[in-house]
Amino acid sequence: MSSSPTAGASSDRRRPRRTATPSKYVDPSDSEDIPFAPDLPPKRARVRSAGGKPGRKPKNAYLKEEAAVAVDAVLRASRLCQSVFNKLVKDETLTKEDKSPVTVADFGAQAIVNALLEKHFPEDPIVGEEDSRDLRADPAMRERVLQLVNSVQKDNESPEMSAEELCRSIDLGNFVGGPTGRFWTLDPIDGTKGFLRGEQYAVCLALVVDGQVELGVIGCPNLPVDWDYPKGDKGAIFVATRGQGAFQRSFTSDKLNKIKTTSSKAARNTVFCESVESGHSSQTEAAQIAELLEMTNESIRMDSQCKYGVVARGNAGIYLRIPVSDTYEEKIWDHAGGSLLVQEAGGIVTDVDGKPLDFSVGRTLKNNKGVVAAGSKLHAEVLSAVQKVLGRKNAIAPSSESAENGDVKQHEIASATEMEVPPVPVTLEVANVVDSNQVNGPSDVNGQAEEMKE
């Protein structure tokens, strides 16, 4: 049976013959029938952090460069101080009007730190303790400082300074502080008397941002790295960055080891730290607090912000600085790095009224009186004891939530006279009686601050 022509034609229409045509890319944007669809955004690069999983942001990025520079600066300054002590500390000291010893190391350490900060962060001002006035008036002293500074510069493959560059670097520390922006604060040698005795002193550097301490680095050249081995390796550097914890490293290794304040709930099982010097002023209130807290363990005696360091790593439970004058104002460089160190190690730092230390009002802590630093489980007990002895009835006590976070942000009013005081060990230091109604610069501060150095 023959096929129908009509059927064949219909089959041809249904299946048209294919013809080879060259392939052609059609851009969708050129077609009126296909709406334009933009390309997908490129995939984000997968970031692998040290010790982390792919895709996560690198850890410890906040102020990483600042921390590295600060550690380098503090280590260089500490090396200079060690060199000064070994070579000429007993013969090359300068006595200012207040009779406090100021060594050549003070000037050299500040010059080295300031020069390094200016190199890496030229827009950042510095609140320093020293100025070059006495150095400019003493050519022999200036030449000795210059030699020591340039020996450190040479060891670190940095350019040597001229005498004028030396003085200019020291005078970079004339900033007055304030509530906005970034600035560094430096104490080139905290604990001058400890330095001269060959005991504890510290090089203290901190970065303040919008009135809050964000980074602290403290170099303690004579502090044992391991408290249980006092004759072992000496030279500890403490590093704390807000929100990242507190760490310790040695002078000879860059390995950072995390540190924590004491977790003891029984304060009588901890020890307290106090100043070596006892003749600065009456310690009547300190003795009363010690009696109220039933302290029985032998105290740790040392100078400088090293006390903050031993509290931060749990060697001591508490450090107090008791005000004995209504007019004396603590200097910010004496507490900036140390207060952050204890907080990041899990402790709490307030003044005797329970208020956070305020670093936003210039070169001093004019809004605060005294300092109470302790482990988070001890602070409330110690603060209530301090307030009871000092008779501060409407002081502010940190809330339990704040205590758990190791930071004082929320407060509640508490009457110290109505609070029970369990026995707690404490770190005691009594502030010297010095009037300081207004401080505008290094020359105004030196006469007061040197007497406070221990």
| 226 φψ region: left (φ > 0), alpha (ψ -120 to 50), beta (else) | beta
User: How many Å apart are CA 63 and CA 399, to the nearest integer?
Assistant: 29
Check if the beta carbon of residue 341 is closer than 8 Å to that of residue 326. Answer: no
> Exposed, middle or buried: residue 2 (CB in 10 Å: 0-12, 13-18, 19+)?
exposed
CA distances to 201, 304, 351, 453 from 220, rounded to whole Å, are 6, 9, 24, 15
**H or E segment at 143?**
helix 139-155
Buried/exposed 356-367: b ≥16 CB within 10 Å, e otherwise: bbbbbbbbbbbb
One of 103, 106, 353, 407 is an active-site residue; which one? 106
Measured CA distances, 332 to 128, 274, 329, 359 (Å): 10, 20, 9, 6
Tokens 């604990």 belong to residue? 191
Residue of 103, 185, 192, 270 marked active site: 192
Is 192 assigned a catalytic role? yes
Rounded to whole angstroms, the Cα distance separating 334 from 129 reads 10
Instruction: Please give the single-letter amino acid code of residue 143.
Output: E
Q: Would you name the residues annotated as active-site residues?
A: 106, 192
